[in-house]
Amino acid sequence: MTNKLHIVADENILLLDEFFADIATLTKVNGRTINASQVAHADALVLRSTAQVNAGLLQASQVQFVGTCTIGIDHLDTSYMDSQGIAWTNAPGCNAEGVCDFAISAINHAWQQHGVDPRQGVIGVVGAGNVGGRLIKRLQAAGLQVICSDPPKQQNLPAAHQYVPLDELMATADIISLHTPLTKTGPHATMAMINGPLIDSIKPGAVLISAGRGEVVDQQSLQARLAKQADLQVYLDVWEQEPNVDTGIMTYCQTVTPHIAGHSLEGKVRGTEMIYQSLCRHFNLPIRQTLAPLLPAAAVTELTVSADMSAAQLLNEAVNSVYPLLADDESTRRALQGVEPVSEAFDLLRKEYPIRREFSTLTIHGVNSEADQKMLSGLGFRVS
């Protein structure tokens, strides 16, 4: 095209050049520190959740379109953009499969290290949207018992989701996985929704996986319970006040990670593709690029297991062939412990996060038990 668009984009978005270079001049910036002068002459912004997009950033600009390559929109002032006629969009569901993989990896760790057998207990999923809804379907397909709580969606949830009130879920589930967006106002605001009383109601020995938004959990109350009783298995991926996180809670958690639950390669580039398509539609441009030819083959695509492996051994082998969660935990603790300012270390972990693939890239051979085949395929693996 003769008159290319000018796009200001977060430098950490994968495949920016591959998707956008032929239709735009790209200016790459640090999304966390993006400012009004950088976007003044941009036609469009392509960003992530680290960028705060509001009147202060946009009011002196010519921006017509804002796309965030993430599922959340709590970093976007959508009311302001609507009032100014600025089109905006997110990428709902782009990294949902990666977050599901993360939650299942945490469940696997709790089974291996603490004997919390997901086949014997109840798994509670809080939030039944793009991520939580898919996680529920995977867990149920694996033959596991699942309950869920999502008040805004209560009336429209499938009967199979087994809806229960939040207080009941928190008090009865053996494994709790949090997947709600962050909303600060309204009848179903999620800010500090998992408060002190709910945290205290979780039964001893339960597993708590936090992979939605950090501010949904009252982190001080959680840390207070852990410091007092140390009777929960906590897998913490999202934190209050990112990137200026309080690392004091790390001591009490089974694993800690820097908000990377959805950072699979597929999740990242799926978001880029979705925003590329939306931008092309907005500016009436042909959609020429597609994701499939841009994805490399996974490092490990086949796994043959022994016929005498138990269900726990099979899941552990499969999970760690794709996503060794403990490696992320180790690198996070090493990078954040005793470091000042912690914000820089936190962001660097996210920026330099290694390539991680999704469970669906792995085909498992040699599983004889139909129950084990159902479990593994339900949880997202391919079983031959």
Q: Predicted confidence band at 156 (pLDDT cuts at 50, 70, 90)? A: confident
Q: Predicted confidence band at 157 (pLDDT cuts at 50, 70, 90)? A: confident
Identical fold between 5-90+265-294 and 96-262+342-349: yes
∠ CA 34-35-41, nearest 5°, is 105
* Portion of the chain with pLDDT greater than 90, in percent: 93
Domain locations in the chain? 5-90+265-294, 96-262+342-349
Of 32, 134, 179, 213, which one is the catalytic site residue?
213
pLDDT value at 312 more than 60:
yes
pLDDT value at 270 more than 80:
yes
- The predicted-structure confidence for 193-204, as pLDDT tens digits, reads as follows 999 999 999 999
Please state the rounded mean pLDDT for residues 56-63. 97
- The predicted-structure confidence for 327-373, as pLDDT tens digits, reads as follows 999 999 999 999 999 999 999 999 999 999 999 999 999 999 999 99
pLDDT value at 13 more than 90:
yes
Tell me whether residue 259 is one of the annotated catalytic residues. Answer: yes
Tell me whether residue 179 is one of the annotated catalytic residues. Answer: no
Please state the rounded mean pLDDT for residues 180-194. 93
User: What is the pLDDT, as a whole number, of residue 2?
Assistant: 54
Tell me whether residue 330 is one of the annotated catalytic residues. Answer: no
pTM across the whole model:
0.88
Q: Alpha helix locations (H) across the chain?
A: 16-20, 36-39, 55-58, 78-84, 96-114, 130-141, 166-172, 196-201, 219-229, 265-282, 311-322, 325-336, 342-351, 370-378
Please state the rounded mean pLDDT for residues 310-331. 98
User: In CATH, which superfamily holds the domain spanning 5-90+265-294?
Assistant: NAD(P)-binding Rossmann-like Domain (3.40.50.720)
Please state the rounded mean pLDDT for residues 23-49. 97
Level-2 CATH architecture, domain 96-262+342-349? 3-Layer(aba) Sandwich (3.40)
47: helix, strand or coil: strand
Please state the rounded mean pLDDT for residues 42-68. 97
CB 285 within 8 A of CB 1: yes
Q: Predicted confidence band at 258 (pLDDT cuts at 50, 70, 90)? A: very high
- The predicted-structure confidence for 83-96, as pLDDT tens digits, reads as follows 999 999 999 999 99
Contact partners, residue 171, CB within 8 Å, separation at least 6: 201, 202, 203
User: What is the pLDDT, as a whole number, of residue 339?
Assistant: 92
pLDDT value at 261 more than 70:
yes
Q: For 39, what's the count of Cα atoms within 13 Å in the CB-facing half-sphere?
A: 31
pLDDT value at 158 more than 80:
no
Q: Predicted confidence band at 97 (pLDDT cuts at 50, 70, 90)? A: very high
Compute CA distances 72 → 75, 94, 177, 190, whole Å: 8, 10, 17, 13
Mean per-residue pLDDT over the chain, rounded: 96
Q: How many CB atoms lie within 10 A of CB 349?
A: 20
Q: Predicted confidence band at 296 (pLDDT cuts at 50, 70, 90)? A: very high
pLDDT value at 72 more than 90:
no
Q: Predicted confidence band at 1 (pLDDT cuts at 50, 70, 90)? A: very low
Of 32, 75, 259, 357, which one is the catalytic site residue?
259
Compute CA distances 271 → 6, 238, 282, 339, whole Å: 20, 19, 17, 32
Contact partners, residue 155, CB within 8 Å, separation at least 6: none
